[in-house]
Amino acid sequence: MGKKAREILEKRGMKVDELIKKLNRAYADEWLAYIQYWTGAQVAEGLMRPNIEAEMMEHANEELGHAKKVCDRIIELGGTPILDPKDYFKQTNCGYDVPKNFSTKALLKQNIDAERCAIAVYNDIVEYARKGGDTVTFHIARSIMQDEMEHEQDLEDLLTDITVK
Ligand code: FE
Ligand code: FE
Ligand code: MG
């Protein structure tokens, strides 16, 4: 599994096992983000519910796409993705914010916090990959970070729209 990929990176001085750990933590975050969005979309109520539910479902699917990209990279580097969902909670950076208040406003705020955390996580991986000369991980993390920034902006815009001035 990914023997040559690993060899090249180790020659450049990259600590591949440390990179895999970071990717697995991000992988846990993606699954929890997926579940948080998906669950929130089901229970949402209040202002602009149809629009916000649709946006949350779209983001949920994009988080699942991120999980797949991160998973593929972990395997290419010779690692194993987290196999037991219980470990998502042990390894996550951003956690899981249980949607207890179903108002669209509260759900948007929860997910904005999660997106801000995700941006910081990928910013760290981008830097780590850049320093270690791993251009492939660099590009994957950079592209995911761009999606997370777009997610943050989409939610902020929706929150502005429902906030009475
Ligand atoms: Fe994501
Ligand atoms: Fe996101
Ligand atoms: Mg969007």
Q: Report the CATH number that the domain containing residue 152 is assigned in CATH.
A: 1.20.1260.10
Specify the amino acid at residue 98: V
Backbone region of residue 163 per phi and psi (left: phi > 0; alpha: psi in -120 to 50; beta: other values): beta
Question: Ligand 1 center to residue 11 CA distance, Å?
Answer: 30
CA distance 8 to 15: 11
CB 9 within 8 A of CB 68: no
How many domains does the chain divide into?
A: 1
Tokens of 144: 């995911």
Question: Ligand 1 center to residue 141 CA distance, Å?
Answer: 10
Angle at which helix 49-76 crosses helix 104-131, to 10 degrees, equals: 20
Question: Ligand 2 center to residue 19 CA distance, Å?
Answer: 21
Question: Ligand 3 center to residue 158 CA distance, Å?
Answer: 10
Question: Ligand 2 center to residue 147 CA distance, Å?
Answer: 6
Ligand with smallest separation from the Cα of 63: 1
Q: Which domain holds residue 111?
A: 3-163
- Residue-wise pLDDT tens digits, 76-91: 999 999 999 999 999 9
pLDDT of the chain along its 165 residues, tens only? 578 888 889 999 999 999 999 999 999 999 999 999 999 999 999 999 999 999 999 999 999 999 999 999 999 999 999 999 999 999 999 999 999 999 999 999 999 999 999 999 999 999 999 999 999 999 999 999 999 999 999 999 999 999 976
Question: Ligand 2 center to residue 3 CA distance, Å?
Answer: 31
Size of the chain, expressed as the number of residues it contains: 165
Specify the amino acid at residue 156: E
